[in-house]
Amino acid sequence: MPGGQSERILGECLACRSVYAAQQWADGAIKPIGAKNGCRCGSTEFRAIENPTLDGRQEEDPIGE
């Protein structure tokens, strides 16, 4: 991401695990799209979901790998 640009991702709220379409900025900040004040639970902390499954959660690593 060149400076000032963002990438569209899935972001998961760290407090309640709600998943949002989000933008990740070059500085690492993750902001949910259409939720100016953060998550509906009140949290403003999100993490990127790297390998989403159909339900929007991050796919767990297989046991033993």
Q: How far is CA 41 from CA 7, 32, 62, in A?
A: 24, 13, 31
State which residues form the domain around 15.
6-48
Q: Is residue 43 part of a domain?
A: yes
Q: Could you tell me if residue 28 is inside a domain?
A: yes
Residue 16 lies in a domain: yes
**Using CA atoms, how far apart are residues 9 and 2, in angstroms rounded to an integer?**
16
Q: What is the dihedral of CA 26, 7, 3, 44, to 10 degrees?
A: -40
Write down the pTM of the prediction. 0.70
Residue at 61 is within a domain: no
Q: Count up the domains in the chain and report the number.
A: 1
Domain membership of residue 20 (yes or no) is yes
Position 62 in a domain? no
Whether 1 is in a domain gets the answer: no
Judge whether 59 lies within some domain: no
pLDDT tens string, the chain, 65 residues long: the values are 556 789 999 999 999 999 999 999 999 999 999 988 999 999 999 999 987 666 555 555 555 44
